[in-house]
Amino acid sequence: KFYIVSYAMHLVPRWLYVFMAPMVARVLRHGQDMEYVGRRVAYYNQLQPGCNLPTDTECLCKMRRKGQSAYFHDLFRTSRWFEGHLKCVLLPGDITYVPEVPSIVKSRPVEGNNANSVIMKLNRTRHFIFLHDKLRFEDKADRVVFRGGVFQPHRRKFMQMYFGHPLVDAAESNKHASSNPPEWRKPRITIYDHLKYKFIMTIEGNDVASNLKWVMSSNSIAVMPRPTFETWFMEGTLKPNYHYIEIKPDFSDLEERIRYYLNHPDEAKAIIAHAHEYVAQFQDSRCETLIEWMVLAKYFRLTGQSSTLKLLNS
């Protein structure tokens, strides 16, 4: 469905999108809390006036699908409303560094000067999955579950520490063979199979933990070290032991933290409620679209480019 809709969007000439954009922008802005919208725009796009792009930067009308096409299609959903002469740098994939020039990225480091990393809602079909969990927290298994690829050193360390632990159902579910112990490997399980457990490990991979969004929308609790990377989900703003259960980066206190919340179910259910409140802000599609438009409009403005969508700059 995602690709059918995306390719269909390309059939409409850009001039028509640009002509309709001011009218659509007014509709998107109507009734919105613009102070809240402004805070999120400022979080995603922290560029300062006077930023420069390389002279060979591609303009929107010449950008073509290449490599990881989901990123191209996601950006096009927003950039199609802007004039084709405008330019931007798109860095697809798991970006764990801050680029030297202002760039559109899916992910960036939480710490440090990350202003050149302008976050957009990219690869949304993989990262922005929310669900309705019908199973109550108290009816779930008193264990923590982990399934995922185990290629990174920190994930290997977790498996070495907790594979076979009575409180932890951990297994490797790589699509491709690895050099890890063969007993770690088990068949993949569905998202809803994960929801049978009270606690779900959300361990960063190459960048963010891609399961964090749907875990926080469920009646299970995300268990993880403090995030070091962030995306459109603003992982850097999550409060430990309020939105998720925080454990040490070396995983050494996992058992202690799980037993604590098993013995304090009311505190556990409070974390679930706070997580649901946090997730709700990303489920207003009109507000989300407006924020995406304003992040990109700010990118063009601060890199010295002019757009007819001046309504978004106020």
Cα dihedral across residues 121, 122, 123, 127: positive or negative = negative
**In whole numbers, what is the pLDDT of the chain averaged over residues?**
92
- pLDDT surpassing 80 at residue 243: yes
- pLDDT surpassing 60 at residue 314: no
Q: Enter the pTM of the model.
A: 0.92
> How many other CB atoms sit within 10 Å of the CB of residue 306?
11
pLDDT (0 to 100) of residue 270: 98
pLDDT in tens, 153-170: 999 999 999 999 999 999
pLDDT band at 285, cuts 50/70/90?
very high
Give dist(CA 137, CA 141) in Å, integer: 9
pLDDT in tens, 17-66: 999 999 999 999 999 999 999 999 999 999 999 888 999 999 998 887 66
CA distances from 177 to 150, 182, 183, 204 (A): 10, 9, 13, 20
